[in-house]
A and B are shown apart, each in its own frame.
Chain A
Amino acid sequence: MFQVRIHGRGGQGVVTSAELLSVAAFAEGRNAQAFPSFGSERMGAPVIAYCRIDDKEIRLREPVAVPDAVVIADPTLLHQVDLFNGLKPDGYIVVNSSRTPEQLGIAEFTNAFPAGHVCCVPATEIALEHIGKPLPNAALLGALAALTGRLRIESVVAAIEDRFSGKVAAGNAAAARACFAAVSSTATSEKTASLA
């Protein structure tokens, strides 16, 4: 079972991200379960969403305590909330930021992870470029797919096109592809992938 935990704030599409991830996995014929954990329901409040992917039926009904991957949609949560709690030592980290782990003050933590398991991507900027709105979720899914190799980008795009339509679908799909491509190209050469 592959477990993902996505952290962000209300309004950033965190819950949608987890759902799209599950739909992408479904498109590949796998079992997937996505669900939210609401804090208080208001914009800007911390939100967590979970996604489990497996080849057999998923029966577990608890929050993801030992994620294989953590996606951070809002870096202002770093140092405020223990976002990495339970993350497996060989897990993956995707952070929505144009800064490096060093600049974010988490390098000491992320350096312990295997090479190519951590990346910072300016997902919000990529979203603004392709969608015109600061909604980083699609881009982050592209990054996650590239970083972990657990999902094909086509599945992510299919999930996006299934949920949205017209320009919104096209923009989000483009953002996901762009991020996927960027992370894929840098993942092999450096210990941590970070995009300027």
Chain B
Amino acid sequence: MSTQPIKFYQTGTFTVGNRLLESSERAVQSNMRRTNSLNSGHRACRGCGEALGARYAIDAVMQATQNRAIAVNATGCLEVFSTPFPETSWQIPWMHSLFGNAAAVASGVAAAMRVKKREHVRVIAQGGDGGTTDIGFGCLSGMFERNDDVLYICYDNEAYMNTGVQRSSATPPAARTATTPAVGKHPGNPFGTGKNVPLIAMAHHIPYVATASIANVRDLEAKVTYAMSLRGARYVHVHVPCPLGWGSEPADTVKVARLAVESGLFPLFEAEHGEITGRYALRRPVPVTDYLKLQRRFGHLFGKNADPAAVAAIQAMADRNIEHFGLLEPTQ
């Protein structure tokens, strides 16, 4: 009989400050003394997954570095809603440069810290999928290749949301966006396109790559914390639902994120120097339709012009992930 250790909190409430846990095991977010790096007052939409992801990730960074970190932000939703002139909701040193160069600007900040012998001050670069997988891809690869001491965090909401929901190379197949409308013979984003940046990051053999989701705060925090214990180029790719762009209910953001993970469509894993070192096992995978049906961007797959073949293809993608990453294997 195979066994799998399960974490205590999984059997109980999902509350981050679960009083049944040792304080060291509680989430950073449950800590009254958390930095609240992304403070309230920002202009994010109701139910914004990225606002959650950024707060979780950066607070974890700040705890891990004793509040000594500098963040460089690409243009995008996060940058726009967090700094509406003349206000800023950042409580940490923060810089916005351009859309495609967050990784390079962060490399520059890291170089400055090295040359000034202040390497205890750590550097984060962050951007959305557009700024990371597309226009920022060259600079990202450069940062990886040089092994610059930067943690790059990508908040992936699977399209260029800030500019009106246009397709990016992170947009999943069949998804409706403004530039892949749900019309014609193959509505939505074409199958057979897109790129998997976590796998590409692994191909650079950098010290650490991980995928994470806002549905699992502790996992995200643990990964970010571990990343900050390392030096060199590190990459964390966080799945963040966008109610506006995905057509989901703002109150469903965390649920949608969880379903992405539980269906196998967004596998959670870690890798070091190009080798997978861990993954989040699924106790019971859910069918992709549970996930897709909550989002109007996939609405055209159901209803009057239903496309069961497309849904089956998406299910096949999830099944492939489960197989490839061993998501049903017991963790050891």
- Contact, chains A and B (beta carbon distance below 8 A): no
